[in-house]
Amino acid sequence: MALAQITQIVGADHVWTGQLMQPFLTDWRGRYQGDALAVVRPASTAEVAAVVRCCAQHRLAIVPQGGNTSLCGAATPSQQPAIILSLQRLNRIRSIDVDNDTMVVEAGCILQTVQEAALAENRLFPLRLAAEGSCTIGGNLATNAGGTQVLRYGNARDLVLGLEVVTPSGDIWHGLHGLRKDNSGYDLRHLFIGSEGTLGIITAATLKLYPVPVAQYTALIALHSVSAAVQLLNHCRQGFAASLTGFELMAHNCLEAVVQCFPEQRIGFTGASAQAPWYVLLELSDYESESHARERLEHILGQALEQQIALDVIMAENLTQSQALWHLRESIPLAEKVLGKSIKHDIGVPTSQVAAFVEETNALIQQAYPGVEHVIFGHLGDGNLHYNVAKGSAYSEAELLALEQQVYRIVFDQLAKYQGTISAEHGVGQLKRDWLPQYKDPVALQLMHQIKQALDPLNIMNPGKVLSQQEQ
């Protein structure tokens, strides 16, 4: 009955079952496999609202999905009966207001498409992710995506001025204003950003735009320790201020894995620097001139070498070299996937505590499971690390994965000790749902339950994600 009504709303060509919906049922990592009655592909906000009203009437669960690039199983069905509501057809850029430095885009727009549309108007939309060629704005906002530019521009929520949202009752909140100041009550957009589709469906957003930098320079720096990387970060913050737009930390074995899997890529260093235990990829954006940017970069990094904070530096001489350096960094997750499954953590720690956390946690894990490999990289500028544990030479993949819960416990307990978080930019989804009550402030968790109950009393919006079924 429900599917028949939904078919009338969106058309038979856009209600997919059988083989057509198979790509939507498995997450990008291949970790979660779900099932659904159908994949529904509405073409407008009005159609989304009508589908939601139908589902509410029949108490049919809805799993919103954008580019299906979630790393925590947030977009994979976990409960029957359910439909997957794909936002792929809501892919229009509705408007660009250069004078207000805003653009209004629909949730199904690919992130790269949004970046390119802004650039065509000589504006910058600074959200940058490895998956930007396939992830969507709706998914970016639903998970409050981070990426490589958070140091300068903030997370996804910091780039949004307004939202259009379909509520669990099928109403439409028209909140797409482009205001930078609005104190007329609760800021509802922040309820929905980062909610992973559990409170409503984001259908469009008003995004902030920025001037395009006159010059951007990239450098790869070899370092002897994480402590040195933190010291270098402080040094660069003082020297570059807001011009420092990227600061990525990578362990040597991360880059080694990239070169192993993709031999056309090169680290670039020779001699001892090619074997440095740690590297930082730094990006400087300048609004004055290329010569000014280069002089600043040479001066600040020259000081770092003189003070023996850094071991060696490679500066990109042109755009091609800069892209090659970023390609190294962005290929790390792809190399991980090629080399086999690992125990992954997307964690946040105060920057001042990162070095101590890494050193101590590595030691604890090695003490418990000698021979595993630590695969550590991430956004040091905002304290967000991808702290992954691979099989190394001592374990098979199956043996490693059997230790997953024990390794999680060590890492999460360490995060509690260092006042960190078990999820920095990937969300909670299914992966961390059952861990959340153990590490989330109990009052915060209670408030989350109350919000969920108030907005979605039927529990049809992406059930089984973020909050466990028993708690909902």
Instruction: DSSP for 102-119, please give it.
Output: EEEEETT-BHHHHHHHHH
Give the per-residue pLDDT at 9: 95
Where is 411: in which H helix or E strand? helix 404-417
Decide: helix, strand or coil at residue 463: coil
Which residue type does 346 have?
Answer: D
Does the structure show a pLDDT above 90 at 288? no
The pLDDT score that the predictor gives to residue 469 is 67
Residue 470: its pLDDT value, please?
Answer: 53
Strand 82-86 versus strand 61-65 pairing type: parallel
Domains of the chain: 2-86 (3.30.43.10), 93-211 (3.30.465.10), 215-333 (3.30.70.2190), 340-417 (3.30.70.2740)
The predicted-structure confidence for 149-175, as pLDDT tens digits, reads as follows: 998 999 999 999 999 999 999 999 999
What are the tens digits of pLDDT across the range 370-381? 999 999 999 999
* Residue range 237-245: mean pLDDT, rounded: 93
Residue whose pair of structure tokens reads 């402590």 in the numeric block? 227
Phi, psi of 201 (to 5 degrees): -115, 115
What's the average model confidence in pLDDT over 431-435? 93
From the number of C-beta atoms within 10 Å of its C-beta (0-12, 13-18, 19+), residue 427 rates as buried
Q: For the stretch 170-188, what's the b/e string if a residue is b when 16 or more beta carbons lie within 10 angstroms of its beta carbon?
A: bebbebbebeeeeeeeeee
H or E segment to which residue 407 belongs: helix 404-417
d(CA 60, CA 275): 55
Measured over all CA atoms, what is the biggest interatomic distance in the chain, rounded to whole angstroms? 73
Query: Is pLDDT at 222 greater than 60 in this prediction?
Result: yes
Tens digits of per-residue pLDDT, 305-352? 999 999 999 999 888 899 999 999 999 988 988 888 899 999 999 999
434, 439, 440, 441 alpha-carbon torsion, rounded to 10° = 140
Q: What is the pTM of this model?
A: 0.92
Average pLDDT over residues 283-293: 89
Per-residue pLDDT, averaged over 384-400, amounts to 94
Query: How much is the pLDDT for 70?
Result: 87
Collapsed DSSP state (helix, strand, coil) of residue 398? helix
Cα–Cα distance between 251 and 222 in angstroms, integer? 10
> Average per-residue pLDDT in the chain?
94
Mean pLDDT of 437-452: 96
Rounded percentage of the chain residues whose pLDDT exceeds 90: 87
Contact 13, 47 (CB under 8 A): no
> In the prediction, which pLDDT does 472 show?
45
* pLDDT for the residue 337: 85
In 143-249, alpha helices (H): 150-153, 189-192, 226-240
- The DSSP bridge partners found for residue 250 are 279, 377
Evaluate whether 72 touches 101 at the Cβ level (below 8 Å). no
Q: What mean pLDDT do residues 416-439 have?
A: 94
* pLDDT reading at 188 higher than 50: yes
* CA–CA dist 284, 322 (Å, integer): 11
